[in-house]
Amino acid sequence: MKRILPVWAACLVAASLLPQTHPAQSGGELRLCIFSEPVTFHPLLADEISSETVRYLTAGVLLRVDRVTQKPEPGLASSWKVLDGGKRIHFSLRSGLRFSDGTPFSASDVAYTVQQLMDPALHSPTGDAFRSSSAQVLTRVVSPTEIDLMFSAPVAGLADLFDTVAILSAQSPQKEMAVLGPFYVAEHKAGAYILLKRNPYYWKKDQAGRQLPYLDSVRLDIQANDEIQALRYSRGEIHMINKVAPGVYDKLAGDGVAVQDAGVTTDTEQIWFNQSPTAPIPDYKRAWFASANFRRAVSEAINRADVARIAFHQHASPAIGVVSPANRFWFNSKLKPHPYDPASALHRLQEAGFRMDNGVLRDNGGHEVEFSIIGKAGDEARQQTAALIQQDLKKIGMKVNIVPLDMHAVIERITGTFNYEACILGLTNATLDPNTQMNIWLSSAEMHQWNPQQKSPATSWEAEIDHLMRALASSADDHKRKQYWDRVQEIAWEQEPFIYLVNKHALVAIAPTVKNAQPSALFPQTFWNVEQLSLTH
Which residues form the interface with other proteins (CB under 8 A)?
Answer: 227, 230-231, 234, 247-248, 251-252, 255, 306, 310, 370-372, 374, 377-379, 383-384, 386-388, 390-391, 401-406, 409, 419-421
Beta carbon nearer to other proteins, 25 or 417: 417
Pairing of strands 370-376, 422-427: parallel
Check residue 446 and report its DSSP letter.
T
Q: What is the DSSP string of 380-391?
A: HHHHHHHHHHHH
Instruction: Please name the amino acid found at residue 47.
Output: D
Please provide residue 349's backbone torsions phi and psi, each rounded to the nearest 5 degrees: -65, -40
Beta carbon nearer to other proteins, 6 or 366: 366
The CA-based diameter of the chain, rounded to the nearest angstrom, is 95
Beta carbon nearer to other proteins, 231 or 447: 231
Cβ atoms within 10 Å, residue 105:
27
Min separation Cβ 425 and other proteins, Å: 14
Contact by Cβ (8 Å): 49, 33: no
Min separation Cβ 227 and other proteins, Å: 4
Min separation Cβ 500 and other proteins, Å: 21
Burial of 66 (0-12, 13-18, 19+ CB in 10 A): middle
Q: Give every CB contact of residue 39 below 8 A, 6+ residues apart in sequence.
A: 45, 46, 47, 48, 50, 51
E-strand stretches of 225-289:
240-241, 260-264, 268-273
Among 339, 275, 341, residue whose Cα is nearest residue 493 = 339
Contact by Cβ (8 Å): 139, 147: yes
Query: How far apart (Å, rounded) are the C-alpha atoms in residues 262 and 280?
Result: 43
Min separation Cβ 416 and other proteins, Å: 13
Among 443, 497, 432, residue whose Cα is nearest residue 470 = 443
Min separation Cβ 274 and other proteins, Å: 11
Min separation Cβ 150 and other proteins, Å: 49
Query: How far apart (Å, rounded) are the C-alpha atoms in residues 383 and 311?
Result: 8
Min separation Cβ 518 and other proteins, Å: 26
Contact by Cβ (8 Å): 58, 184: yes
Beta carbon nearer to other proteins, 277 or 280: 280
Beta carbon nearer to other proteins, 9 or 411: 411
Beta carbon nearer to other proteins, 384 or 518: 384
Min separation Cβ 406 and other proteins, Å: 5
Beta carbon nearer to other proteins, 148 or 341: 341
Q: Count of alpha carbons within 13 Å of 139, Cβ hemisphere only?
A: 18
Beta carbon nearer to other proteins, 449 or 529: 449
Min separation Cβ 409 and other proteins, Å: 4
Q: Give every CB contact of residue 499 below 8 A, 6+ residues apart in sequence.
A: 270, 271, 272, 295, 298, 299, 302
Beta carbon nearer to other proteins, 11 or 407: 407
